[in-house]
């Protein structure tokens, strides 16, 4: 305990010391009432012995923090047994406890603790200033833990969504390979067999078969590209993934990348979609613009992800906002991906003036939120 710290009144006051001692002495009474209330509510928090033990341990830690606060110490948010750690563990996929169960349990603890404080205040009204200090400490202790646990659970849900996307991409890759890929491969082999069995026939027929064979070969190449992309592991680092992609390119253009900021500010789902958008913008620039130089930039801040791709290629006229030769469905897909993560995509281009693609994604810390 920290009895030598300044009291809320600015000078030592035996009432605060006495009230703090009363709170701590009531620990068993509060926890017993807490457990009985949860049992009466049929709360799953006390159904499992391990969950029950953790709930009681956390309750003890909070009562200790409140008592210390009444004596003049700050409520500590770093207690090793704080509710945040408990809630994070219980929000795993195999947990039987929902966040709603845990929040109801927290509300019950608040009611039991306040009831104990009120009894002491009724017995001695002069303890009102001490009571107010304890209520503020209790509120800060609980609200801070709930806020942190809510953020942790939100992160957990985003990871689940991200993993679901990865699993779905892998399923689509398998289906494309097993259903479509096999059919294309059989058709390609049949075209080769046709060429062998029609040697010496009319050149026109041979030319038609050659065109069909080339079309099938291109379809198979595109299918391999799609399935390869679908099987790609989730993007964990935007900069690393972009560097690896640029290293894999076979191009004469000078492609330069600059990434600044901390990626931990950006949710994994945003990192994933941003990478796919930037990659497509780079691919479009190299495929359709024939540039000598491509500049790729990404700036990460707590409130925003800002990315751009500039090239000095041949550009195109923005008559309708989409040029079929330069962007086509690629740009539409990029805009859709940007919208999914709450961002917007901007495009600027002119014949002979290159192309500028810009992505802006507000993050949870955005001042407008």
Q: How many other C-beta atoms can be found within 10 angstroms of the C-beta atom of residue 330?
A: 16
- Taking 50 as the pLDDT cut, the residues of the chain under it are 1-9, 11, 76-94, 202-204, 320-329, 366-369
pLDDT in tens, 117-164: 999 999 999 999 999 999 998 888 888 777 766 666 666 666 666 667
Where do the CATH 3.30.565.10 domains begin and end in the chain? 235-369
pLDDT of residue 94: 42
Among residues 347, 224, 213, the alpha carbon closest in space to that of 280 is found at: 347
Write the DSSP symbol of residue 91: T
Say what the pTM is.
0.45
What's the rounded Cα separation, in Å, for the pair 92 and 108? 23
- Looking up tokens 């029609």, which residue turns up? 198
Q: Where are the alpha helices (DSSP H) in the chain?
A: 14-25, 27-41, 49-71, 83-90, 99-123, 128-175, 182-197, 203-231, 238-248, 268-288, 329-340
Among residues 10, 7, 90, the alpha carbon closest in space to that of 44 is found at: 90
pLDDT of residue 177: 61
Where do the CATH 1.10.490 domains begin and end in the chain? 14-162
Q: Classify domain 235-369 at the CATH topology level.
A: Heat Shock Protein 90 (3.30.565)
pLDDT of residue 5: 39
pLDDT of residue 149: 65
pLDDT of residue 186: 64
Cβ contact 331:309 at 8 Å: no
**CATH class (in words) of the domain with range 14-162:** mainly alpha
**Starting at the edge strand that comes first in sequence, how are the strands of the sheet with 344-349 ordered?**
254-260, 293-301, 304-311, 355-362, 344-349
pLDDT in tens, 215-269: 666 666 666 655 655 555 567 789 999 999 899 888 889 999 999 999 988 988 8
Length of the chain, in residues: 369
What's the rounded Cα separation, in Å, for the pair 69 and 71? 5
């Amino acid at each position: 305990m920290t009895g030598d710290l300044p009291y809320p009144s600015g000078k030592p006051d035996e009432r605060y010391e006495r009230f703090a001692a009363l709170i701590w002495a009531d620990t068993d009474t509060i926890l017993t009432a807490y457990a009985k209330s949860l049992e009466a509510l049929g709360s799953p928090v006390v159904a499992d012995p391990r969950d029950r033990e953790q709930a009681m341990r956390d309750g003890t830690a909070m009562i200790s923090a409140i008592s210390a606060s009444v004596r003049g110490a700050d409520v500590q948010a770093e207690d090793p047994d704080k509710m945040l750690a408990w809630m994070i563990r219980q929000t795993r996929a195999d947990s039987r406890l929902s966040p709603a169960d845990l929040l109801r349990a927290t509300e019950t603890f608040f009611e039991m603790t306040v009831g104990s404080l009120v009894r002491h205040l009724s017995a001695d009204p002069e303890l009102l200033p001490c009571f107010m200090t304890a209520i503020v400490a209790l509120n800060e202790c609980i609200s801070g833990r709930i806020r942190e646990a809510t953020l942790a659970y939100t992160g957990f849900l985003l990871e689940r969504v991200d993993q679901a996307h990865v699993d779905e991409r892998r399923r689509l890759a398998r289906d494309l390979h097993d259903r479509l890929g096999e059919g294309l491969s059989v058709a390609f082999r049949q075209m080769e067999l046709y060429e062998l069995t029609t040697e010496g026939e009319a050149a026109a027929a041979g030319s038609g078969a050659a065109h069909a064979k080339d079309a099938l070969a291109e379809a198979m190449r595109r299918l391999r590209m799609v399935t390869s992309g679908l099987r790609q592991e989730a993007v964990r680092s935007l900069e690393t993934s972009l560097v690896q992609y640029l290293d894999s390119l076979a191009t004469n253009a000078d492609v330069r990348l600059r990434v600044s900021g901390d990626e931990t500010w950006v949710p994994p789902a945003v990192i994933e979609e941003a990478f796919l958008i930037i990659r497509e913008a780079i691919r479009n620039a190299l495929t359709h613009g024939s540039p000598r130089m491509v500049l790729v930039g990404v700036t990460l801040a707590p409130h925003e992800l800002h990315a751009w791709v500039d090239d000095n290629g041949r550009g195109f006229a923005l008559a309708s906002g989409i040029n079929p030769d330069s962007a086509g469905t690629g740009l539409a897909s990029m805009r859709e991906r940007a919208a999914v993560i709450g961002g917007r995509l901007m495009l600027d281009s002119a014949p002979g003036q290159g192309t500028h693609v810009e992505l802006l994604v507000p993050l949870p810390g955005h001042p407008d939120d």
